[in-house]
Amino acid sequence: MKIGIIGTGDMGRTLGVRWAQLGHTVRFGSRDLAKAGAAARAAGPTAQAGDTDAAAGFGEVVLYTVRGVMPSRLLRAPAQLAGKIVIDCNNSDYDAARGEFAPAPVPAFAEQLALDVPGARVVQAFNTVPHRILELARDQLAPRRISVFLCGDDAAAKTTVADLAGELGFVAVDSGGLRRARIVDGVVDFIRFQIAGMGRGPWTTISLDGVPERAR
């Protein structure tokens, strides 16, 4: 697929590099062209670099990683996201003054994104997975059956994102419509508590599984 990456922080760079390594054509877009270029070089010869509008226009799927800034404020032509699958992986920021993470917004970032760009096929995904875990190879991830929770109102878009997650070695869990992103945000807070409050470190995440029928 053609995948646009808007933002080249930890999440955007890591997911873009991994998808490029799997054969997808990736264009990294950043407000800092040097960062976009560095990410593209790390991803290999099929990757490209440009500004955020270039990434938005390029992708069939667009990963939106710019936390707290809506497309209407970031892009010159936000309407180009209409009709595209837009993955939101954002969480609330760390509040340095309070020494803790800020509470998740209501409506969720994914809901705000959908309101900001009418027609975009928004799916919340990957926001419960720390970037350190995203860096791991598929053969390391697959046996762990780590969950990627998908929230969205477009079933076909969720199927595409589920396939992209599965290629990386994750197990996609359909968690309902976009409004359910608020519930998944609570899972994020729990994981952050385990990472920071309980000292488990950035390799901590969560898997949702059921007991097999024969074991009941």
Cα–Cα distance, 87 to 133 (Å, whole number) = 18
93 pLDDT more than 80: no
Residue pLDDT, tens place only, 133-179: 999 999 999 999 999 999 999 999 999 999 999 999 999 999 999 99
Q: Phi, psi at residue 48, to the nearest 5°? A: -130, 170
Q: Is the pLDDT of residue 120 over 90?
A: yes
CA–CA gap between residue 200 and residue 193 (Å, rounded): 9
Question: Nearest Cα to 127, choosing from 187, 77, 48?
Answer: 187
Q: Looking at residue 14, what is its pLDDT?
A: 98
Average pLDDT over residues 69-81: 97
Tens-digit pLDDT profile for residues 55-71: 999 999 999 999 889 99
Give the per-residue pLDDT at 94. 65
Strands 147-152 and 121-124: antiparallel
| In the predicted structure, residue 96 carries a pLDDT above the cut 60 | no
Q: Is the pLDDT of residue 51 over 60?
A: yes
Residue 194: CATH number of its domain: 3.40.50.720
Whether 10 shows a pLDDT value over 60: the answer reads yes
Q: Which domain holds residue 151?
A: 2-215
Pairing of strands 61-64, 100-101: unpaired
Provide the number of structural domains found in the chain. Answer: 1
Q: What is the pLDDT of residue 215?
A: 67
Please tell me the predicted confidence (pLDDT) of residue 184.
Answer: 96
Work out the mean pLDDT of the chain and round it to a whole number.
94
Per-residue pLDDT, averaged over 75-101, amounts to 86
CA dihedral 196, 197, 203, 208 (to 10 degrees): -130
> Structure pTM?
0.94
Is the pLDDT at 98 greater than 80? The verdict is: no
Span 27-43, pLDDT tens digits: 999 999 999 999 999 99
Q: Tokens 């024969």 label which residue?
A: 214
